[in-house]
Amino acid sequence: MAVSTEEIAHAVELFSGLGEITTRKMMGGLCLYHDRTIFALLMSDGQLYLKGAGAFQQVLEDAGCTRWQYQRDGRDKPTFMPYWTLPDAALDDPDVAADWARRALAHL
Protein backbone atom coordinates (compact mmCIF):
# COMPACT_ATOMS: atom_id res chain seq x y z
CA MET A 1 0.00 0.00 0.00
CA ALA A 2 1.36 3.42 -0.92
CA VAL A 3 0.90 6.67 0.96
CA SER A 4 -2.06 8.73 -0.18
CA THR A 5 -2.05 12.29 -1.45
CA GLU A 6 -3.94 13.29 1.71
CA GLU A 7 -1.36 11.64 4.00
CA ILE A 8 1.47 13.39 2.16
CA ALA A 9 -0.28 16.76 2.42
CA HIS A 10 -0.87 16.23 6.15
CA ALA A 11 2.79 15.34 6.79
CA VAL A 12 4.05 18.35 4.82
CA GLU A 13 1.60 20.64 6.64
CA LEU A 14 2.58 19.17 10.01
CA PHE A 15 6.23 20.16 9.44
CA SER A 16 5.49 23.40 7.56
CA GLY A 17 7.01 25.47 10.37
CA LEU A 18 10.44 24.37 9.15
CA GLY A 19 10.01 26.15 5.85
CA GLU A 20 10.22 24.34 2.54
CA ILE A 21 9.69 20.58 2.80
CA THR A 22 10.42 18.31 -0.13
CA THR A 23 9.38 14.69 -0.43
CA ARG A 24 10.34 11.56 -2.27
CA LYS A 25 8.35 8.36 -2.47
CA MET A 26 10.32 5.26 -1.57
CA MET A 27 9.25 1.62 -1.11
CA GLY A 28 5.58 2.44 -0.56
CA GLY A 29 6.38 5.22 1.92
CA LEU A 30 7.68 8.75 1.77
CA CYS A 31 10.89 10.50 2.80
CA LEU A 32 10.61 14.09 4.05
CA TYR A 33 13.51 16.49 3.53
CA HIS A 34 14.42 19.96 4.72
CA ASP A 35 17.39 21.62 3.00
CA ARG A 36 18.11 18.32 1.24
CA THR A 37 18.44 16.45 4.56
CA ILE A 38 16.08 13.59 5.29
CA PHE A 39 14.57 14.08 8.74
CA ALA A 40 11.39 12.00 8.71
CA LEU A 41 9.61 9.08 7.09
CA LEU A 42 5.94 8.53 6.41
CA MET A 43 5.26 4.81 6.21
CA SER A 44 2.58 3.21 4.06
CA ASP A 45 0.53 2.51 7.21
CA GLY A 46 0.41 6.27 7.95
CA GLN A 47 2.98 6.17 10.79
CA LEU A 48 5.38 9.12 10.91
CA TYR A 49 8.95 8.66 12.15
CA LEU A 50 11.69 11.19 12.97
CA LYS A 51 15.30 10.40 12.24
CA GLY A 52 17.34 10.12 15.41
CA ALA A 53 21.11 10.50 15.57
CA GLY A 54 23.63 11.07 18.33
CA ALA A 55 22.35 12.28 21.68
CA PHE A 56 18.91 12.94 20.20
CA GLN A 57 18.22 9.20 20.22
CA GLN A 58 18.09 9.22 24.00
CA VAL A 59 15.85 12.31 23.99
CA LEU A 60 13.38 10.43 21.77
CA GLU A 61 13.49 7.36 23.99
CA ASP A 62 13.01 9.47 27.12
CA ALA A 63 9.95 11.07 25.48
CA GLY A 64 8.42 7.61 25.02
CA CYS A 65 8.98 7.41 21.28
CA THR A 66 9.28 3.94 19.79
CA ARG A 67 12.12 2.96 17.47
CA TRP A 68 11.23 1.50 14.09
CA GLN A 69 12.18 -2.13 13.85
CA TYR A 70 11.36 -5.00 11.57
CA GLN A 71 12.03 -8.72 11.47
CA ARG A 72 14.08 -10.08 8.59
CA ASP A 73 13.26 -13.56 7.37
CA GLY A 74 15.57 -16.18 8.84
CA ARG A 75 16.94 -13.91 11.58
CA ASP A 76 16.35 -14.30 15.29
CA LYS A 77 16.83 -10.66 16.22
CA PRO A 78 14.95 -7.65 14.86
CA THR A 79 16.66 -5.02 12.74
CA PHE A 80 16.50 -1.52 14.23
CA MET A 81 16.40 1.57 12.04
CA PRO A 82 17.43 5.11 13.15
CA TYR A 83 13.85 6.40 13.18
CA TRP A 84 11.44 6.94 16.09
CA THR A 85 7.74 7.71 16.32
CA LEU A 86 6.81 11.29 17.09
CA PRO A 87 5.64 12.17 20.59
CA ASP A 88 1.83 12.16 20.75
CA ALA A 89 1.70 15.94 21.25
CA ALA A 90 3.41 16.42 17.88
CA LEU A 91 0.98 14.32 15.86
CA ASP A 92 -1.58 17.07 15.36
CA ASP A 93 0.24 20.26 16.35
CA PRO A 94 2.44 21.76 13.62
CA ASP A 95 4.32 23.96 16.10
CA VAL A 96 5.25 20.99 18.29
CA ALA A 97 6.04 18.80 15.27
CA ALA A 98 8.31 21.46 13.74
CA ASP A 99 10.10 21.87 17.07
CA TRP A 100 10.82 18.14 17.25
CA ALA A 101 11.94 18.15 13.61
CA ARG A 102 14.35 21.06 14.28
CA ARG A 103 15.81 19.10 17.17
CA ALA A 104 16.24 16.05 14.94
CA LEU A 105 17.86 18.12 12.18
CA ALA A 106 20.31 19.67 14.66
CA HIS A 107 21.81 16.18 15.17
CA LEU A 108 22.04 15.19 11.50
DSSP tag of 16: G
CATH number of the domain where residue 31 is located: 3.30.1460.30
* Start-to-end Cα distance in the chain: 29
Separation between Cα atoms, residue 90 and residue 84, nearest integer Å: 13
- Predicted model pTM: 0.92
Task: Determine the structural domain holding residue 43 and report its residue range.
Answer: 5-105
Q: What is the pLDDT along the chain (108 residues), one digit of tens a residue?
A: 689 999 999 999 999 999 999 999 998 899 999 999 999 999 999 999 999 999 999 999 999 999 999 998 988 999 999 999 999 999 999 999 999 999 999 999
Counted domains in the chain? 1
- List the alpha helices (DSSP H) in the chain: 5-14, 56-62, 94-105
The beta-strand segments (E) located in the chain are 22-26, 29-34, 37-42, 48-51, 67-70, 79-85
**Residue 85: partners with Cβ closer than 8 Å, 6 or more residues away:** 47, 48, 49, 50, 65, 66, 68
